[in-house]
Amino acid sequence: MVKGMRLGKYELGRILGEGNFGKVKYASNVETGQGFAVKILDKQRILELKISEQIKREIGTLKLLKHPNIVRLYEVLASKTKIYMVLEYVTGGELFDRIALKGKLSEESGRKLFQQLIDAVSYCHNKGVYHRDLKPENVLVDANGNIKISDFGLSALPQHFKDDGLLHTTCGSPHYVAPEVLANKGYDGATSDLWSCGVILYVVLAGFLPFDDRNLAVLYQKIFRGNPSIPKWVSPGAQNLIRRMLDPNPNTRITIAEIKENEWFKQNYTPAGPVDEDEDIYIDAQAFSIQDLKPIDLEKQQSGSHALINAFELIRMSSSLDLSGFFEKEDVSERKIRFTSNYSPSDLLDKIESVVKDMGFRVLQKRNGKLRAVQENKGHKCQNNLSIAAEVFVINPSLYVVELSKSYGDSSLYRKLCTKLSNDLGVSQNQQLLALQV
């Protein structure tokens, strides 16, 4: 048997997983034989993806958290080119995989997992940590059926709050994110985490998502509306709790204290036991020296280097239009673009009309939230002609999505239109190239 690479007292073995900036390998302590998961991060790749702060945040957050239902960080080692996070090895895989393989869980099993989830989230909030990306992919299940929350790369700490006492970074995963996070007006980390917990509870008991649609505009409409249809096999007690957690109004959404007093939740509830909070975690100072590497000319990187950016980092709704979050994965010259805005539908269409007229388009229709225009090259019959359509969708009273599509015509002209539209609205070329990862 060939021995693996040694990392201090650990011997690295098989690959458990692989991502865009590193691998996760199984490791055993050569002295005790205990198994661990070692997350190996490539510093150069971290610089390319501009996520050094995210990695530092995850390490700093995990150092604070010691709970039986949170993946444990034991130590962080580093070299000049790599960071090694030695983590608790959880054998059962992701909750997402378990549901995908077996479908919904029984209500008894689902309640147990949910109780542990709430225990862990409550502990995090008491420590001033807000996860902001809770989903079944970030909930691991051990050999005994107990959950372990992982991936705190998007978590927020007290220093991330603005002067208004709220968080303002739009992040998370589309199907699990709270409506107030999408609205970009500031949100409370605790209540937004509870929305995500409500979606997880729904998925666990129903076997599918409460809000789902391939069209992001429609998906967001469903999230803002709330009130999902709940299958009849879910008990009335669980249905009531889900509805109170998926309340689109964060001010009336159920709190953790109220959840713990809920009759359905309290059945066979055993709070998590204590852990050793005083145990120290060794972190090599080299782990935080990512910026010591040779700088990279990021302008020369291909757009693929942005693949790891979270979807909602691309949807920063502001008073100006932002095309960055709604580009399709297909080539923009062949398909369509969508962008979000806080402008009124009439103002949006006026702005688009102004841009297309400047490019020599003739507006054929502009009413009922729709605009159609054509640019005709009179010197070449039908050659280089371009017909486009724009439509405004209402997400909520202060948020709109515009869909711009090519009906027919020259792809290069359509690309020029997209570029001019984004330039006139102050959107950078780099943002245009970013593909939405959903």
Q: What is the pLDDT of residues 257-310, one digit of tens each?
A: 999 999 999 999 999 876 776 677 777 776 666 655 443 332 333 333 222 223
Whole-model pTM?
Answer: 0.70
**Range of the structural domain that residue 233 is part of:** 95-266
Report the binding-site residues.
Answer: 39
Q: Do the domain assignments include residue 438?
A: no
Domain finish residue from 89, 112, 128? 89
Q: Do the domain assignments include residue 287?
A: no
* Residue 59 shares a structural domain with residue 103: no
Domain finish residue from 266, 299, 334? 266
CATH number at residue 353: 3.30.310.80
Confidence of residue 384 (pLDDT cuts 50, 70, 90): low
CATH number at residue 141: 1.10.510.10
Q: Do the domain assignments include residue 387?
A: yes
* Residue 129 shares a structural domain with residue 256: yes
* Residue 84 shares a structural domain with residue 115: no
Which candidate, 216, 217, 6, 207, places its Cα nearest to that of 110?
207
Q: Do the domain assignments include residue 49?
A: yes
* Residue 164 shares a structural domain with residue 247: yes
* Residue 341 shares a structural domain with residue 195: no
Instruction: Determine the angle formed by the axes of helices 189-206 and 95-102, rounding to 10 degrees.
Output: 30
* Residue 61 shares a structural domain with residue 37: yes
Contact 115/265 with Cβ under 8 angstroms? yes
Confidence of residue 438 (pLDDT cuts 50, 70, 90): very low
How far from chain centre, in Å, is Cα 324? 15
Contact 262/241 with Cβ under 8 angstroms? yes
Report the binding-site residues for ATP.
Answer: 39
Give residue 61's pLDDT: 87
Contact 49/309 with Cβ under 8 angstroms? yes
Domain finish residue from 68, 89, 110? 89
* Residue 103 shares a structural domain with residue 77: no
* Residue 145 shares a structural domain with residue 73: no
Residue 424: burial class (beta carbons within 10 Å; 0-12, 13-18, 19+)? middle
Instruction: Phi first, then psi: give them for residue 77, nearest 5 degrees.
Output: -110, 160
Q: Do the domain assignments include residue 291?
A: no
Q: Do the domain assignments include residue 167?
A: yes
* Residue 84 shares a structural domain with residue 99: no
Indicate which residues carry an active-site annotation.
Answer: 133
* Residue 171 shares a structural domain with residue 100: yes
Count up the domains in the chain and report the number. 3
Q: What is the pLDDT of residues 73-121, one digit of tens each?
A: 999 998 888 999 999 999 888 898 889 888 899 999 999 999 999 999 9
CATH number at residue 26: 3.30.200.20
Sheet of 399-409: strand order equals: 322-327, 336-341, 399-409, 386-396, 370-375, 362-367
Phi-psi domain of 25 (left: phi exceeds 0; alpha: psi -120 through 50; beta: other): beta
* Residue 143 shares a structural domain with residue 55: no
* Residue 123 shares a structural domain with residue 227: yes
Q: Do the domain assignments include residue 259?
A: yes
Q: What is the pLDDT of residues 216-259, one digit of tens each?
A: 778 888 999 898 999 999 999 999 999 999 999 999 999 999 99
Q: Do the domain assignments include residue 363?
A: yes
Sign of the Cα pseudo-torsion (101, 35, 57, 50, in order): negative
Count of all residues that appear for the chain in the document:
438
Q: Rounded CA gap, 369 and 220, in Å? A: 18
